[in-house]
Structure 1
Amino acid sequence: MPDRTVMLKLWGVSLLWGCNYVASAYLLRDFSPILLSFSRLVVMSLFLISVALVNKSMRRPTKREWLLLLWAGIAGTLINQLFYFTGLEHSTAGNAALIVALSPIATTLLSRIFLKEVISWSKYSGTVIALAGVVCIVLYSGKSIGISIGDINLLIATLGLSVSLLFIRKLTVGMSSYEITIYATVIGTILMTPAVGYEALSGQSHGSHQLMHWLLLIAVAVIGQGLAGFWWNRGIAVAGPSVSAMFMNIPPFIAIVVSHFVLGDPIKLAQIGGGVLILAGVAIANMKLPKMLSKSRGKSVGLSRAD
């Protein structure tokens, strides 16, 4: 039986990650999307670097690992964060949480295409169900039937996250998730510098002048991302991937409820129906294979992330 403290931390991660979507949507009212993304990444990078300096447990990556970290940073931090915040600016916190929940399905499909991994019928079935949920959200949860540019950007952000997990999966052979998180985050933050510079030069950059907004930004980066990430890794190590994965079903619905009461976003039937389809699809896709089939599979690595 997993330690009670660990289970409480996993519940805490679910709550923090669900509220993260709402906090980001709230901050976008006073920040331009790229400046907000860059500022949050800078704070998170400084936090992670401070932890690394205190623990003194980091090692220098090999040339091959540097290359993989670069691609992980481009896809998982630069592309993911840029399109996440520009998408969230034109969508809702609930939609963002539900669309990002599609990441495990997207990763499965990309693993089949690029890594030639075998996909079971349960994964195919789960993929179809989850994609139906995304279609429901994208087409029917707006003010009118149609595709929102915000939801399209969120789909691209989710694709970037899923692509990064392919590189992270290769990196876990020789590096810890702790080291990968720090290196990839810092690299992605550096790569985003030209984007935030362009936003400023084009006159589109603006930030809040209220201290409380900056304190909220720091709290989201340090507690909602950094600390929650460490709790999540601890949960996987102690409770196991299968138990921890169940908690990933909670943040989307927390985001929908909290955004309704905090931001005034309406709770729509398409969101609920689409969310149920996505989470059901993810659950079906991650059903354990029979022992006879699972023996033919190689070692798998379960990794996840929430914005």
Structure 2
Amino acid sequence: MPDRTVISKLWGVSLLWGGNYVASAYLLRDFSPILLSFSRLVVMSLFLISVALINGAMRRPTKREWLLLLFAGISGTLVNQLFYFTGLKHSTAGNAALIVALSPIATTLLSRIFLKETITWLKFAGSVTALVGVVCIVLYGGKSLGISLGDVYLLIAMLGLSVSLLFIRKLTVGMTSYEITIYSTVIGTILMSPTVGFEALNGQSHWSHQPLNWLLLIGVAVIGQGLAGFWWNRGIAVVGPSVSAMFMNIPPFVAIVVSHFVLGDEIRAAQIGGGVLILAGVAIANWKPRARPLAQSGQSAGLTQAE
């Protein structure tokens, strides 16, 4: 029986990640996208570095690992965060959560292209189903028929996240997920520094003067990202990735419901329909048929099962 505490934390992670989309959309009313992204990353990096200093169990990466960490930081932090917050500024929290939910499927397809991994017919069917769901959201999820620029940016952010998982997969051979998270986040934060200056030079940088908004930003970074990330990794270690993955179906719909009541976003049929298709596609792609018993009495093979 799985540890109830771990299962409770996985539920908490699902709710926190769903709420993160809404909190980010709310903060974008008073922060410029790049400044908000960078500020959140700085707070999260400081939190992760503090944890590393307290635990002290960090080893120095090899030259090859530094290179992989650099690529993971560029794609998973720099590209993902830049396009995520810029896209969220022009889209909705619900759409953002649903599009990011496509990441497992995108990672599967990218693994086939770049890592030459095989794709079963279930993964192919799941990929097609999920892609249809994204098309529904992108084309019909707005106030009018058409492709939203914000949704395009969110798709790029999702692809950045998916590409980073390819590098992370290679890094896990010699590094723990704890080490990878800290190194890649800090590297991505450093790489994002010039973009904040560029936004300021263009006169597009602005921030909130409300202390409560800064407290919300810190809470999202430390609790919603940092602490939730540790809970998530602990859940995978205890109950396994297949059980943990089921909880990833929850955040998109948490985001849709919460953003409706907090931000006043409409709940559109295309979002619900597209979300169901995306999550169904992910479920199909990760479904593993139960192995049939090797033999049953009365079968022509004449084998019997021992008790």
Q: Which amino acid letter does the alignment assign opposite residue 230 of structure 2?
A: F
Which residue is 1:66 aligned to?
Answer: 66
> Counterparts of 1:217 and 1:152 in 2: how far apart (Å)?
25
Alignment match, 2:296: none
- In 2, Cα distance between equivalents of 1:144 and 1:14: 30
Question: Aligned pair count?
Answer: 292
- After TM superposition, list the pairs within 5 Å mapping 1:184-223 onto structure 2: 184-223=184-223
Post-superposition offset of 1:288: 1.7
Could you say which residue in structure 1 is the equivalent of 2:131? Answer: 131
Q: How many angstroms does 1:237 deviate by?
A: 0.4
Q: Give aligned-pair identity as a percent.
A: 85
| Structure 2 gap ranges (5+) | 293-307
In the alignment, what sits opposite 2:178? Answer: 178
Residue 236 of structure 2 is matched in structure 1 by 236
Whole-Å Cα distance in 1 between the matches of residues 7 and 132 of structure 2? 32
The one-letter amino acid of 2:131's match is L
| 3-state SS, counterpart of residue 31 of structure 2 | coil
Alignment of 1:76-87 (within 5 A): 76-87=76-87
In structure 1, how many angstroms separate the alpha carbons of the residues matched to 2:213 and 2:157? 24
Q: What letter is aligned with 2:219? A: A
Please report how far the alpha carbon of residue 291 of structure 1 lies from its aligned counterpart in structure 2 after TM superposition: 6.1
Alignment match, 1:297: none
Deviations 1:27-63 (A, max 9, x none): 0000000000000000000000000000000000000
**SS of structure 2 residue aligned to 1:98:** helix
> Does residue 99 of structure 1 match 2:96?
no
Quick one: distance in 1 between partners of 2:73 and 2:289?
32
Equivalent residue number for residue 40 of structure 1: 40
Provide the residue aligned with 1:144 in structure 2: 144
For structure 1, list consecutive stretches of 5 or more residues without a partner in the other structure.
293-307
Superposition deviation, residue 283 in structure 1:
0.4
Q: TM-score, normalised by structure 2?
A: 0.94
Give distance in 2, aligned partners of 1:290 and 1:7.
Answer: 24
The residue that corresponds to 2:161 in the other structure is 161
The 2-side partners of 1:287 and 1:239 are apart by 17
State the alpha-carbon separation in 1 of the partners of residues 125 and 42 from structure 2: 40
**Secondary structure, in 3 states, of the residue corresponding to 1:216?**
helix
Q: Distance in 1 between matches of 2:290 and 2:3?
A: 28
**Does 2:34 match 1:3?**
no
Q: TM-score, normalised by structure 1?
A: 0.94
Give per-residue Cα distances to partners, 1:121-158, cap 9 Å, x unaligned. Answer: 00000000000000000000101000000000000000
The CA deviation at 1:289 is 5.8
Name the residue aligned to 1:305: none
Q: Provide the C-alpha distance between the structure 1 equivalents of 2:96 and 2:291, rounded to a whole number of angstroms.
A: 36
Q: What's the offset of the Cα at 1:290?
A: 6.7
Provide the rounded CA distance (Å) in 2 between the counterparts of 1:187 and 1:133: 34
Whole-angstrom distance in 1 between the partners of 2:155 and 2:202: 26
The DSSP-based 3-state class of the residue aligned with 1:192 is helix
Kindly report structure 1 stretches of 4+ aligned residues shifted beyond 3 Å: 289-292
CA distance in 1, matches of 2:91, 2:41: 21
SS of residue matched to 1:246: helix
Residue aligning to 2:22: 22
